[in-house]
Structure 1
Amino acid sequence: MLRLIKGEIAQLSAPEVVARWLPADIAAAAPEGPRRQSWLAGRVMLAAHCPSESLQALTYNQHGKPTFARPGAPHFNMSHSGDRIVLAIDDRAPVGVDIEILRPRRAWQRIAADYFGEAERQRLAALPHAEQLLAFWRGWTLREAVLKQRGGSVWQMAALDVSPESLNQQNLFTGWHHGTTAMIAVCAAHPFDLTVSVMAGV
């Protein structure tokens, strides 16, 4: 089963929430600076939703993607944007997730030109103007989720083929969950029905 858990960084990184969910040594390992709150919120979500796994035994690939060290442990991936954070957990295979706050992006056409394929850029350009920005965010989150499922780096994005034909050949399956303020893309190595829950800072 693939689960998607949503939360707010400010709530989940609050001192009383951290004290409830995290061992002292894990909380003390949080980095200083702008990454601190999102790091703490992510560890709180892992502790709450993977209670049998050790946060002290996380390992990281060459691009920094964390995994549980225990053989047979669930696979997971996290993403955050603004104050939103999401955790995807897959019991079967590596998973990738990306969240983006839906916001104006003045340079989105240039970004698409740099990172999207020609066919994808043509599809964007053919849409009514009012639909193009949302379609850009859909394409961007898809690329991020696929890269993260594969354990890759954002530097590989320009060469990434996310056409339906390419994803089918790689046995990759994708889905979205979005509302009026944020879009979330998920990529997994098997078909899935997305189960979504919310973790509040309690």
Structure 2
Amino acid sequence: MLRLIEGEISQLSAPHVVARWLPADIAAAAPEGPRRPSWLAGRVMLAAHCPSESLQALTYHHHGKPLFTRPGAPHFNIGHSGDRIVLVIDDCAPVGVDIEILRPRRAWQRIAADYFGEAESRRLAALPQDEQLLAFWRGWTLREAVLKQRGGSVWQMAALDMSPESLSQQNLFTAWHHGATTLIAVCAAHPFELTLSVMTGV
């Protein structure tokens, strides 16, 4: 089963929420600086939705993807953009997620040329102008989700083959969730239905 949960970093990293959900040693391990709120919000979401797992027993993939160490534990992935954060949990296989706040991106054509490849860049440029930016964000979030499912990094994005044939050969399945101001992409190693729940700070 695959679960997708979204929340607001500012709510889920508030001191009273952190005190409710996180052991003191986990809260104390949060990094200082701009990463602190999203780190705390992600751990709060894990504590709420994976209550049988130990946050003290997390390990990290060499590209920084956190994992539960217990054999048979669920797989998960976290993404954030602006004040939005999303957690995806899969009971049986590695999973990847990316979220982006839909916003103008002046250099999207250059980014697409650098990371999507020539054919995909031409396809985006051929779309009606009012569809191009959303198509760019769909391509970006999907690639991020696939990379995160595999435990890769953004530097590997340009080498990805995102054709349906390639994804099928790798037994990868993908879907998007379109919100009012956000776009979420999920990649899993089995077919799934995508439904979104929301976690608040109350």
Give the TM-score category using the shorter length. over 0.9
**Which residue of structure 2 aligns with residue 57 of structure 1?**
57
Q: Percent identity?
A: 88
Cα distance, 1:55 vs structure 2:
0.1
Distance (Å, rounded) in 2 between the aligned partners of 1:195 and 1:158:
29
Distance (Å, rounded) in 1 between the aligned partners of 2:123 and 2:177:
21
**Which residue of structure 2 aligns with residue 142 of structure 1?**
142
**Which residue of structure 1 aligns with residue 20 of structure 2?**
20
Contact 1:59–1:68 (8 Å) recurs in 2: yes
Cα distance, 1:180 vs structure 2:
2.5
**Which residue of structure 2 aligns with residue 157 of structure 1?**
157
Cα distance, 1:92 vs structure 2:
1.0
**Which residue of structure 2 aligns with residue 173 of structure 1?**
173
- Tell whether 2:104 aligns with 1:126: no
Name whichever of 112-121 and 144-153 sits farther off. 112-121
Q: For 2:133, what is the secondary structure of its paired residue?
A: helix
Q: Which deviations, in whole Å up to 9, do the C-alpha atoms of 1:83-115 show, x marking residues without a partner?
A: 000000000100000000000000000000000
**Which residue of structure 1 aligns with residue 89 of structure 2?**
89
Distance (Å, rounded) in 2 between the aligned partners of 1:117 and 1:42:
32
Cα distance, 1:47 vs structure 2:
0.1
**Which residue of structure 1 aligns with residue 99 of structure 2?**
99
Distance (Å, rounded) in 2 between the aligned partners of 1:119 and 1:73:
40
Q: Which runs of 5+ in 1 are unaligned?
A: none
Structure 2 counterpart of 1:71, one-letter code? P
Structure 1 counterpart of 2:158, one-letter code? A
**Which residue of structure 2 aligns with residue 35 of structure 1?**
35
Distance (Å, rounded) in 2 between the aligned partners of 1:53 and 1:179:
30
The number of residue pairs the alignment matches comes to 202
Task: With the length of structure 1 as denominator, give the TM-score of the two structures.
Answer: 0.99
Cα distance, 1:143 vs structure 2:
0.3
- Tell whether 2:186 aligns with 1:189: no
Contact 1:117–1:161 (8 Å) recurs in 2: no
Distance (Å, rounded) in 2 between the aligned partners of 1:147 and 1:15:
33
Task: With the length of structure 2 as denominator, give the TM-score of the two structures.
Answer: 0.99
Cα distance, 1:195 vs structure 2:
2.4
